[in-house]
Amino acid sequence: MMTRFRILSFLLLLALWGCSDQPATVGSQKTELVSVKGQVVAPLEKASLYIYKKGMDLYGPAFAVSDATDRLGNFAIDLPVGEYVAVVRKRASGETVGPVVAGDNRSDFIQLTVKAGMDELNVVAPVKIGDNRRLTTQDAKTLTGFEGTITDADGNPLEGLRIQVYDHVQMSERPKYVSEKTGPDGRYRMLLPEGGTYYICARDNFGGPPKLGDLYGRYDQGTIEPSAVVIRKDQILEGVNIRVTKIW
Concatenating the DSSP letter of every residue in 150-187 gives EE-TTS-B-SS-EEEEESSTT--S--SEEPPPP-TT-E
Query: How far does Cα 70 stand from its chain's mean position?
Result: 23
Distances 38 to 6, 58, 69 between C-alpha atoms, Å: 64, 21, 10
Per-position DSSP letters for 25-71, written without gaps between them? STTPPPPPEEEEEEEEETT-TT-EEEEEETTS-TTS--SEEPPPP-T
Q: What single-letter DSSP state applies at residue 8?
A: H
pTM: 0.51
Per-residue pLDDT of the chain (248 residues; tens, 9 = 90+): 544 545 444 444 444 444 333 333 334 456 789 999 999 988 899 999 999 999 888 877 889 999 999 999 999 999 999 999 999 999 988 888 777 877 899 999 999 999 999 999 999 999 887 554 444 444 445 589 999 999 999 999 999 999 999 988 888 777 888 888 888 999 999 888 889 999 999 998 876 678 888 999 999 877 777 888 999 988 999 999 999 999 98
Closest among 185, 241, 206 to 93, alpha carbons compared: 206
Q: Is 194 in contact with 235 (CB distance < 8 Å)?
A: no
Q: What sign for the dihedral angle of Cα 168, 108, 62, 41?
A: negative
Q: What pLDDT shows up at residue 155?
A: 94
The C-alpha atoms of residue 144 and residue 194 are separated, in whole angstroms, by: 6
| Domain architecture of the chain: domains with CATH | 33-124 (2.60.40.1120), 145-246 (2.60.40.1120)
Cis peptide before 226, with omega less than 30 degrees from 0? no
Closest among 247, 237, 243, 171 to 212, alpha carbons compared: 247
Q: What pLDDT shows up at residue 131?
A: 52
Q: What pLDDT shows up at residue 206?
A: 74
Which secondary-structure segment (H or E) carries 1? none
Query: How far does Cα 93 stand from its chain's mean position?
Result: 16
Q: Determine how β-strand 48-53 pairs with β-strand 82-90.
A: antiparallel
Q: Is 190 in contact with 148 (CB distance < 8 Å)?
A: no
Q: Which bin fits 130, alpha (ψ -120 to 50), beta or left (φ > 0)?
A: left
